[in-house]
């Protein structure tokens, strides 16, 4: 996908859909998104280098007293973590750890991989930090306090979605992980403490991300909540995240390894995507696209919300959720949506994210899980994913719409 969009950006400029200066302007305007993503990827790389994400995965599976409890624990645990860490980074660490657990249980790994993919999709909808499409919406929609806005509208529905999703995966996978017999009745993994004892000073010196990441998140939330409460000036969230990432680079002994571990392919995808979208806007494609979509303007709140949710369920199955949201943002702006219509933007972000549970193609994190499984000899097919994911997507989107409509 990064190759497609980078090539598309060159074709867009070469064909004259947008000038070279226009492409440079599009990249300059998208700098906050790219900087924020870079910061989140750098923090994730630092936590991975410190072994924190692997330790979190081992602590999580150690909470289970019986193998049948694992799918629900994985769903909720990784779902909550994905609200504050980019979901792509979480599945890169979580999938191999869960494959190891499945081998220990001599059980099929698919229930754990599916619970992981489903959980990070649902949980990442909660905040702008959970996935790239939420970040796009939070920065390009003009929302004055995006983290506070997301939490205000989504805390209840996503909380309910996590609870219902945990019940769902427990129900459909019950008995699948204890079928190996050898581990029946015993814990699936040794319990480890959440915070290891001793040696913290040395750990923090070697891996400052252990304190800089949570510290940056606390500053982000504090600044936004304070600004929203007193209606004061707001420091852009991307500036706070980037400042924390710069401090992490300066303080880390292994900074070169951190930079190499950053997901540069995703950043290239976004850079190419922004140029392609700029060409689509300049060439009138967005205007024509608007006339084809059944989305009314901001004066029709309930029909607009339902139309945004419906189109956001289908679109990501064609082009994945990040490109779909990037194309939808100028469409909604063209229709008159802006900072004064937060419900529309939250609906776009959450519905397009939850659409990732419909098919494998709906979210990049799904493809990462499938690829890691394939390299380990586990085949996660499109049919299998849709069989289990489509009912879950229906449940979670239904809860989302019910809560948002009641909130009107």
> What residue spans define the domains of the chain?
2-407
pLDDT of residue 182: 44
* Alpha-carbon gap, residue 276 to 279, rounded angstroms: 5
Query: Is the pLDDT confidence value at 189 over 70?
Result: no
Query: Is the pLDDT confidence value at 185 over 60?
Result: no
What's the average model confidence in pLDDT over 268-296? 77
What's the average model confidence in pLDDT over 124-149? 89
* Alpha-carbon gap, residue 356 to 367, rounded angstroms: 10
What's the average model confidence in pLDDT over 371-394? 92
pLDDT of residue 33: 83
Query: Is the pLDDT confidence value at 79 over 90?
Result: yes
pLDDT above 70: percentage of residues in the chain: 94
In terms of pLDDT, which residue wins out, 54 or 20? 20
Place of tokens 């979480």: 90
321: CB partners within 8 A, 6+ apart = 131, 133, 352, 353, 355, 356, 362, 363
In the structure, what pLDDT confidence band is assigned to residue 271 with cuts at 50, 70 and 90? confident
* Alpha-carbon gap, residue 5 to 1, rounded angstroms: 6
pLDDT of residue 289: 65
In the structure, what pLDDT confidence band is assigned to residue 234 with cuts at 50, 70 and 90? confident
What's the average model confidence in pLDDT over 77-81? 92
In the structure, what pLDDT confidence band is assigned to residue 359 with cuts at 50, 70 and 90? very high
pLDDT of residue 145: 85
Query: Is the pLDDT confidence value at 28 over 80?
Result: yes
pLDDT of residue 211: 93
Query: Is the pLDDT confidence value at 184 over 60?
Result: no
Q: Which of 178-187, 254-263, 264-273, 362-371 comes out lowest in average pLDDT?
A: 178-187
In the structure, what pLDDT confidence band is assigned to residue 183 with cuts at 50, 70 and 90? very low
Mean pLDDT of the chain: 86
């Amino acid at each position: 996908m990064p190759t497609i969009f980078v090539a598309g950006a060159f074709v867009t400029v070469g064909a004259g859909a947008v000038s070279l200066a226009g492409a440079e302007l599009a990249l300059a305007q998208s700098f906050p998104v790219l900087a924020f993503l870079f910061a989140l990827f750098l923090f994730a790389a630092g936590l991975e280098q410190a072994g924190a994400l692997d330790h979190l995965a081992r602590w999580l599976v150690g909470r289970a007293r019986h193998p049948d409890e694992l799918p629900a624990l994985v769903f909720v645990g990784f779902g909550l973590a994905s609200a504050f860490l980019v979901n792509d980074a979480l599945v890169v660490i979580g999938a191999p750890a869960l494959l190891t657990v499945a081998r220990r249980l001599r059980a099929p790994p698919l229930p754990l991989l599916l619970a992981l993919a489903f959980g990070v999709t649902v949980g990442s909808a909660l905040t702008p930090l959970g996935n790239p499409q939420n970040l796009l919406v939070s920065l390009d929609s003009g929302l004055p306090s995006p983290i506070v806005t997301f939490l205000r509208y989504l805390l209840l529905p996503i909380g309910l979605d996590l609870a219902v999703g945990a019940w769902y995966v427990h129900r459909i996978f019950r008995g699948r992980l204890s079928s190996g017999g050898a581990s029946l009745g015993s814990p699936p993994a040794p319990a480890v403490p959440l915070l290891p004892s001793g040696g913290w000073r040395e750990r923090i010196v070697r891996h400052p991300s252990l304190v800089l990441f949570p510290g940056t998140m606390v500053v982000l939330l504090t600044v936004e909540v304070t600004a929203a409460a007193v209606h004061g000036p707001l420091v852009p969230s991307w500036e706070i995240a980037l400042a924390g990432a710069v401090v992490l680079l300066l303080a880390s002994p292994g900074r070169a390894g951190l930079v190499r571990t950053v997901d540069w392919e995703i950043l290239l995808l976004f850079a190419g995507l922004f140029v392609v979208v700029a060409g689509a806007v300049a060439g009138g494609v967005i205007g024509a696209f608007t006339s084809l979509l059944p989305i009314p303007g901001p004066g029709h709140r309930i029909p607009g919300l339902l139309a945004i949710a419906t189109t956001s369920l289908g679109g990501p199955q064609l082009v994945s959720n990040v490109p779909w949201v990037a194309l939808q943002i100028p469409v909604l702006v063209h229709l008159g949506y802006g900072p004064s219509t937060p419900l529309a933007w939250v609906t776009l972000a959450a519905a397009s994210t939850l659409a990732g549970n419909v098919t494998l193609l709906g979210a990049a994190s799904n493809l990462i899980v499938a690829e890691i499984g394939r390299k380990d000899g586990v085949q996660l097919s499109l049919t299998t994913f849709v069989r289990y994911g489509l009912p879950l997507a229906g449940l979670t989107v239904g809860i989302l719409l019910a809560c948002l409509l009641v909130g009107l």
